[in-house]
A and B are shown apart, each in its own frame.
Chain A
Amino acid sequence: MRYEVDSRGYYGNFGGAYIPEMLYPNVEELRQQYLEIIQQPAFQKEFQDLLRQYVGRPTPLYYAARLSEKYMANVYLKREDLCHTGAHKINNTIGQILLAKRLGKQKIIAETGAGQHGVATATVCALMGMECMVYMGKLDMERQRPNVERMRILGTQVVPAVSGNMTLKDATNEAMRHWINHPTDTHYIIGSVVGPHPYPHMVTLFQSIISEEIKKQLLAEIGQPNPDYVVACVGGGSNAAGAFYHYLNEEHVNLVGVEAAGLGIDSGESAATTALGKPGVLHGSKTLLMQTTDGQVIEPYSISAGLDYPGIGPLHAHLFETGRVQFVSATDDEAMHAGIELARTEGIIPAIESAHAIAALSKLELTTEDVVVVNLSGRGDKDLETYIHWGKY
């Protein structure tokens, strides 16, 4: 259990709950109750039923024959892009809204980068009849316009965050401020494995359905549950945490996290946290963080709004530090080419976040025997404008 959270909310040297007192009662209420609630049979039944009937789980584990041929390995795609709303994010929002209801909350807030978590939150709020407000960086609102309108159609108020680079970090700041100002009736649905304890652990548990299914599906498919590689992109790290979770203690399964290098790791325009970050505190946890020597957070950059974040979840910081997960990165260009490649070889247009994971295939030393599972975290509908603007297809 080297990779489980400890009783203080830490993964090794990372995690904890670094929050001002105004947030303490909220976070503490959650900390005291989340495990108990999640473990209740009635909760599990409602959660599993919704995942099956509403989200469309289990998502397929698809053998990508032409991609396999190209990389001379056995490549499977875990089709989170086929989840209702188009990404893995909804696994977490279903779990958290059921939890929020049991905590007696009436209102929901969330932050969003690519808009996938915002849409997934707006969706479950519509489903449960709860009032919803989503903070989104003004720049992200422009580059993910369809998702902004989807949230609005679902009845959610989208609030532009206009501080900083006007991206995910700034939206998270605004959501936290909102929560400070509305501590009793509001639950904050964080969209990744970031934030103060218990969020990283709670979101990991809700996303762990991904690796739970991969194990069963591989067993049925190839007669054994473990692949040689599991590859996932890492923004905050929720789809990766979900895809890795049940393999963490299977040390012979190579786990690969793919970060966004932006214009290149040393270009000054990057979001590759493990390459560029140092331990620090942001958004309530101690983790790896891109920052100046004075401790000011550096504005990240990636073509992908969902990976444009200066930190990673504390679990991933620990997995990096212990060497359990190998972190690689893909540039904007590599990811875009990989996205087009997947479209042309398999007829699947991936989210640009997920295209980063595909781009990592060429960086691994694969053999024809290797079984590789790539977590295809989302679909590319939201990114059409970015694909069109990039133009090289």
Chain B
Amino acid sequence: MKNRITELLSKTKKPVLSVFYTAGFPNLDDTEKIAIALEAAGADLIEIGIPFSDPVADGPTIQASNKKALDNGMSVALLLKQVAALRTKVKMPVILMGYLNPVMQYGFERFFKDAAFAGVDGLILPDLPLDEFAQYEALTTSLNLSVSFLISPTTSEARVRKIDAISTGFVYAVSASSTTGAKGQFTPEQIAYFNRLKSYNLKNPFLIGFGISNYTTYSQACAYGAGAIVGSSFIQQISESKNLEAAIQQFVLSLTTSK
């Protein structure tokens, strides 16, 4: 069987929309509802965040969603159960993204196996060092799990190439030197960085994430990368809404169509 992420990114003609949200937020059992609504609204890929008590790479929005999700009782074990259930209802690729410690406590090998078994297609573990991952690479490959690493504007070309070589599925291009959070537009320096990445002709496609919040930033990201990842602005939208489905529908529409 082919990996769903690789399949999606090799077949699609148009840029992909990947949405990040925190598992178990706003309510513990919303993880599945959100996935279904996102697929119905036209998202191509979902990244489900494993909540952590100390999310150092995140801005206030995602910090708050992590805290709420933990207060709701979310854990790695419960999330894997939820993913196994939602896997039978959505077709798009599912990625789990999270800080290392909860995964380490669950046990790396056990986590990789259980995630693959639950139907997870890819992983993003931002604080997993490249050289620590080496020992698990054979296992994730045999489980058909893609593992995407991050690059940032200050990552050197040599290191971008190293990260590209070890990543599978796609490379996660962080749009700015920043924590997560919605921003209005990209600067000329950011555009130059996207162009630089394009010129590298990497083995993997790259998706651009962090700071994407509206049609302008979304379409700019899509003009340079294979697609865009939105997180904070989506989480803001669903945390304030009474009707999840309608809010998600409207969010995807507003992101992907110009006014």
A contacts, CB < 8 Å to B? 8, 16-22, 24-26, 163-164, 169, 173, 176-177, 180-184, 278-284, 289, 291, 293-297
Contact = CB atoms under 8 A, between A and B. Distances in A.
Contacts of B128: 18
B52 to A, nearest CB: 7
Contacts of B237: none
A148 to B, nearest CB: 23
B96 to A, nearest CB: 14
Interface of B: 52-59, 63, 67, 70, 75-77, 99-106, 126-129, 131-132, 149-152, 154-156, 159, 163, 174, 177-179
Contact of B131 (A8, A24, A283): A8
A291 B149 CA distance: 26
Nearest to B151: A21
Residue with the highest number of chain A CB atoms closer than 10 Å, among B63, B129, B163: B129
Contacts, number: 109
Contacts of B179: 22, 177, 180-181
Residue with the highest number of chain A CB atoms closer than 10 Å, among B67, B70, B102, B149: B102
B56 A177 contact: yes
A294 B149 contact: no
Given A281-B100, A296-B102, A16 B129 contact: yes
A278 B151 CA distance: 31
B156 A25 contact: yes
A21 B150 CA distance: 6
B254 to A, nearest CB: 27
A283 B127 CA distance: 10
Given A16-B132, A181-B179, A294-B75, A22 B105 contact: no
A279 B101 CA distance: 9
Contacts of A283: 54, 56
Contacts of B75: 294
B154 A295 contact: no
A180 B103 CA distance: 23
B54 A295 contact: no
A294 B105 contact: yes
B178 A181 contact: yes
Contact of B104 (A26, A177, A182, A280): A280
Contacts of A26: 154
Residue with the highest number of chain B CB atoms closer than 10 Å, among A19, A21, A24, A176: A21
B54 A180 contact: no
A246 to B, nearest CB: 31
A72 B199 CA distance: 74
Contacts of B159: 24
Given A18-B128, A19-B127, A25 B155 contact: yes
B194 to A, nearest CB: 16
A26 B152 CA distance: 12
Contacts of A176: 56
Contact of A295 (B59, B102, B129): B102
Given A164-B53, A297-B53, A20 B105 contact: no
Nearest to B57: A20
B132 A22 contact: no
A289 B101 contact: yes
Contact of B152 (A16, A22, A282): A22
5 contacts: A16-B129, A176-B56, A181-B179, A184-B177, A279-B104
Nearest to B177: A183
